[in-house]
Amino acid sequence: MLLVVLDTNVLVAGSRSRLGASFRVLTLVGTGRFEIAISVPLVLEYEEALVNGAAGSAWTRAHVDDVLDYLCSVGRTTEPSFVWRPWLPDPDDDFILDLAVAATCTAIVTFNVRDFRGADSFGIAVWTPRDLLARIGDLP
């Protein structure tokens, strides 16, 4: 089964529109089509982005809490014991790479593919939400 890390921008995009690949990815979390890896820092970043920084999101605070609780209940919690920093062009993304490596993920799912140049050195692919949907055979 594919194990992936969902970058925060995927959650934010999915919270803004029900029409895109990000929303479809979110609806498939926990269905057995793929698994997600999570960590405390990642969930905190999800929370901050969805509560404070996701202008245009239709989600209430209660909905954000429910979504985070669900992700925590179905996600594979992994806490990296070693960090590979600095490695990526954007140092704010290094903790996501650390998680992906520690959890032995197949891929990081993000819209910022260029920000994760170098992840392939660890055997981690970098996919867009649409790429993930194509891999699991869920494109219309």
Pairing of strands 3-6, 76-77: unpaired
Q: What is the pLDDT along the chain (140 residues), one digit of tens a residue?
A: 999 999 999 999 998 888 999 999 999 999 999 999 999 999 999 999 988 765 566 678 898 999 999 999 999 999 877 665 556 666 677 899 999 999 999 999 999 999 998 899 999 999 999 999 999 999 87
Helix (H, G, I), strand (E, B) or coil at 139: coil
Predicted local confidence at residue 4, as pLDDT: 98
Predicted local confidence at residue 92, as pLDDT: 78
Domain chopping of the chain, boundaries: 3-135
Predicted local confidence at residue 139, as pLDDT: 86
For the domain made up of 3-135, the CATH class stated in words is alpha beta
Amino acid at 60: T
Q: Quote the pTM value.
A: 0.92
For 125, the token pair is 């692919």
Quote the CA–CA distance of 117 and 9 in Å, as a whole number: 17
Predicted local confidence at residue 55, as pLDDT: 56
User: Quick one: CA torsion of 129, 132, 138, 140, rounded to 10 degrees?
Assistant: 50
* Helix, strand, coil distribution of the chain in percent, nearest 5: 50, 10, 35
Predicted local confidence at residue 79, as pLDDT: 87
Predicted local confidence at residue 85, as pLDDT: 58
CA distances from 50 to 2, 54, 85, 109, 111 (A): 25, 5, 26, 17, 16
